[in-house]
Structure 1
Amino acid sequence: MKKLLLSIFVLAVVFSCSKDDETPIPECTVPGNLQVTNISQTSVTITWESSNADSSFILEYGESGFALGTGTIVNTTSTSYTINNLAANTTYDYYLTANCGNGNESDPTSVRSFTTLFPLVVAEFLPNLSELNLFEGDLENLRPSVYTYEYDLITPLFTDYAHKQRLIALPQGSSMVYQNDGLPEFPDNTVIAKTFYYNVDEQNPGLGKIIVETRVLIKIDGEWQTGNYKWNDAQTDASYTTDGHVVPLSYTDTEGATVNLDYEIPSNTQCFQCHNKSNIITPIGPKLRNMHFNNQLEDLIGDGMLTNVTNLSELEALPSWEDTANFTLEERARAYFDVNCAHCHQPEGSCGTETLLDLRYETRFNETSIYETRFSILTRIQNQIPDYGMPLIGTTIIHDEGVALILEYINTL
């Protein structure tokens, strides 16, 4: 009888264990509805959904193309995770696995990707131009950052026939404030950059550029500061400099002739001489009247970069010095004077105490002293003698077309 009871007990235990072994393990389902939000230059938040009870999650990520298992691994019990300390303008891959415990893991999700934002423009004079983040990709392509606005001028300043790329970068969430048709009020940490270059062959611009310098203005604590970046021969970057430099270069002009030029990069002292207004550094080019074409101001207003404009149609545009069809000889000559000469030749400019000339476009003719000094003007704009020829700074050759315009105008007075 005892043997029978023992046999029954053993069978019961075996049967019971057999039933336990047959209990199904719940499936650990793959996380779903993965979303990427709050992307910045250095961080991103990943969220997901899970139908598993009491599960944790394994998140692995790395720069695009990393081998699975070699990335950064994060364990979390939450259905969201913020990754920090990422590199800007970089694509990352990631995938997720649910861990339901006791070695029960889901299949991994498919590999997903995200790209961090391009770095913000840096409002600081750093050793290399590339560190300011004004451009995307290879610097030599001069492709502006998404955080800059590329603009042009109706009547530009002449600099030895150099081409110029002009950029404005405002701090995020700020704007230029309209005051009148001159300069707007710029917020602190505004960066204005102008890059000077020549096409290797003006008849075939696709052959490449000779980039010489990038001049930079930065508004720091309410005051503008100037700095220059001299491009290296490889055209891969430019170095900060406060000194003047002479850069010999050669290119083919629009007529097919070879032009040899000793291009002069101004020193910081020379930059101040032109940008000086009552001993305060001031931008020269981006006056609203000189930007009022090709819908540039409309674009700035639409993008929230220019505010306080009540009626744009009332803002007078500066004439184009080359537009003979729509502007008079006087209007074109006065516009040329305004852009090329008036930053020095006005009461608050560097030459304000040395001459009666006031060449600002808005100055009435009888207050400009153009007529009284006409012979001096004619002599000096046709001369390259140092400290005598005009302009004093920024050119090494005479602007033949500009001189012809001024000669024609003055001969009518």
Structure 2
Amino acid sequence: MKKVIKRVSVLFLVIGTLYCVQSCKNKNENSNSDYQSVADFAFKEKLSDYGFFIGKLKDLKSNEGILSYKLNSALFTDYALKDRFIVVPKGTKMKYTSSGVLDFPNGTILIKNFAYTNTDHQKIMIETRLLAKNPKDKKWYVMNYLWNKEQTDAVKHISGANIPITLLDEENNIVSTTYKVPNTNDCKRCHVNQAVLTPIGPKAMNLNNVVSGENQLGKWADSGYLQGLPEITKVPVLPNWEDEDTYDLNQRARAYLDINCAHCHTKGGDAFNTGLFLEYGQNEKSVVGIMKEPVSAGGGANGLNFDIVPGNASESILYNRMDSTVPGTAMPELGRSVKHKEGIKLIHDWIQSMK
């Protein structure tokens, strides 16, 4: 009997050893498990350490279980090319709430990669930003990763950076500028509402679009990544500000202001004290800026009297601040060093169309 027990004990010891060896081997061969664990979250030193992508890192070929996503209207950042992904931990789902907001599960990581097109029409990586929901305190935290010159990896970078670049804009015009990688506190200024860090872009209405012939939110629901989604026709839509065929001038301009300005110009946002609120659903004319006197613009108003003067863009503070790159005047204050010609024209035409 003792021999039998001894043999069984040895057998279990061997099985346990083999399991441990195989587990360690699997972890080394595929770090996929790292990003899917919600325990003991901490930002890693290098982007490659997470296992988000397979193959060459710069190709951004997402690993299994990582969702790429597309926005209807996106924030302008010096004509940067942006690739966006959501990491949803295994065994969890995003939730669509009655207010139309997505509730992301603990352990979620939002990935946003920034790149530019150089004069040789090559895609050059600049930075990758992570917004992670820590399962311990259920709060969001941000971290930036700066890509190396070899384009092989990105390293954790807290203090920000100024990077001289020469890029091609949407019309293939050559633009030379100094791209500003924000420090983590800069990121917080835009992402904080009511003293709570929160995502900006991936709102349900900004994700309600068709990708490869299928509704993006509907696909996530069908694939088990999203629960509580109502009939898609009942989900609000933020217009694509570039889509002139589907949306009118007012809808496009308001969508542009929502994604580029409303994260600060909203109740609880960084620009709350201005009284200028630019959410897409905001209907009160004075609150949107029409014939509204500035509260705290200071020298940024350049002597002008109203945020928006109907039919007169040149006399409107909002338009003039968008059409500037001078620190203290330019709006948005962060995230750009060059003028967004297409966005400026849109807001100009919108103001001119007002009666």
2:53 maps to a residue whose letter is F
Give the conservation status (yes or no) of the 8 Å contact 2:100–2:235: no
Q: State the alpha-carbon separation in 1 of the partners of residues 258 and 168 from structure 2.
A: 30
Pair 1:326 & 2:240 matched? no
Give the conservation status (yes or no) of the 8 Å contact 1:358–1:367: no
Of 360, 365, 371, 2:290 maps to: 371
Give the conservation status (yes or no) of the 8 Å contact 2:53–2:63: yes
> Counterparts in 2 of 1:281-292, with a 5 A limit?
281-292=197-208
Pair 1:357 & 2:276 matched? yes
* Residue in structure 2 matched with residue 380 of structure 1 by the alignment: 321
> Counterparts in 2 of 1:2-81, with a 5 A limit?
none
2:128 maps to a residue whose letter is T
Tell me the SS of whatever aligns to 1:196.
strand
Q: Deviations over 1:360-404 (max 9, x none)?
A: 011114353321221110111111111221010000001000000
Give the conservation status (yes or no) of the 8 Å contact 2:31–2:51: no
**For residues 188 and 351 of structure 1, do their structure 2 counterparts lie closer, same or farther at Cα, with a shift above 3 Å needed?**
same
Q: State the alpha-carbon separation in 1 of the partners of residues 196 and 83 from structure 2.
A: 25
How many residue pairs end up in the alignment?
310
1:288 maps to a residue whose letter is A
1:218 maps to a residue whose letter is A
Give the conservation status (yes or no) of the 8 Å contact 1:181–1:289: no
Q: Which runs of 4+ in 1 moved over 4 A?
A: 252-257
Could you tell me how far 1:251 is from its partner in structure 2?
3.5
* Residue in structure 1 matched with residue 25 of structure 2 by the alignment: 87
Structure 2: runs of 5 or more not aligned? 1-9, 292-306, 309-315
Tell me the SS of whatever aligns to 2:324.
coil
Give the conservation status (yes or no) of the 8 Å contact 1:184–1:288: yes
Of 165, 184, 187, 2:83 maps to: 165
Q: State the alpha-carbon separation in 2 of the partners of residues 187 and 313 from structure 1.
A: 25
Of 403, 406, 409, 2:344 maps to: 403
Q: State the alpha-carbon separation in 1 of the partners of residues 339 and 186 from structure 2.
A: 19
* Residue in structure 1 matched with residue 299 of structure 2 by the alignment: none
Could you tell me how far 1:310 is from its partner in structure 2?
2.9
* Residue in structure 2 matched with residue 94 of structure 1 by the alignment: none
> Counterparts in 2 of 1:332-347, with a 5 A limit?
332-347=252-267
2:147 maps to a residue whose letter is W
Q: Deviations over 1:202-248 (max 9, x none)?
A: 7x5xxx42100001100112111111001111111111111110111
* Residue in structure 2 matched with residue 303 of structure 1 by the alignment: 223
Give the conservation status (yes or no) of the 8 Å contact 1:380–1:389: yes
**For residues 328 and 371 of structure 1, do their structure 2 counterparts lie closer, same or farther at Cα, with a shift above 3 Å needed?**
same
Q: State the alpha-carbon separation in 1 of the partners of residues 168 and 185 from structure 2.
A: 32
Q: State the alpha-carbon separation in 1 of the partners of residues 241 and 87 from structure 2.
A: 28
Tell me the SS of whatever aligns to 2:103.
coil
Where relative contact order (Cα < 8 A, 6+ residues apart) is larger, the structure is 2
Deviates further, 220-229 or 122-131: 122-131
* Residue in structure 1 matched with residue 7 of structure 2 by the alignment: none
**For residues 343 and 182 of structure 1, do their structure 2 counterparts lie closer, same or farther at Cα, with a shift above 3 Å needed?**
farther
> Counterparts in 2 of 1:59-208, with a 5 A limit?
83-85=19-21, 86-88=24-26, 118-121=32-35, 123-180=41-98, 182-201=100-119, 204=121, 208=122
Q: State the alpha-carbon separation in 2 of the partners of residues 246 and 117 from structure 1.
A: 32
Tell me the SS of whatever aligns to 1:87.
helix
Tell me the SS of whatever aligns to 2:253.
helix
**TM-score, scaled to structure 2:** 0.81
Tell me the SS of whatever aligns to 2:49.
helix
Structure 1: runs of 5 or more not aligned? 1-74, 92-115
Q: Deviations over 1:149-201 (max 9, x none)?
A: 00010111110100100010011110111114643111111100100011335
> Counterparts in 2 of 1:264-279, with a 5 A limit?
264-279=180-195
Q: State the alpha-carbon separation in 1 of the partners of residues 237 and 168 from structure 2.
A: 34
Of 156, 161, 164, 1:245 maps to: 161
**For residues 325 and 298 of structure 1, do their structure 2 counterparts lie closer, same or farther at Cα, with a shift above 3 Å needed?**
same
2:123 maps to a residue whose letter is K
* Residue in structure 1 matched with residue 126 of structure 2 by the alignment: 212
Q: State the alpha-carbon separation in 1 of the partners of residues 148 and 194 from structure 2.
A: 35
Give the conservation status (yes or no) of the 8 Å contact 2:282–2:288: no
Deviates further, 176-185 or 281-290: 176-185
Could you tell me how far 1:119 is from its partner in structure 2?
3.4
Tell me the SS of whatever aligns to 1:286.
coil
Could you tell me how far 1:252 is from its partner in structure 2?
4.2
Q: Deviations over 1:57-84 (max 9, x none)?
A: xxxxxxxxxxxxxxxxxx969xx99643
Q: State the alpha-carbon separation in 1 of the partners of residues 27 and 56 from structure 2.
A: 13
Could you tell me how far 1:140 is from its partner in structure 2?
1.4
Give the conservation status (yes or no) of the 8 Å contact 2:32–2:52: no
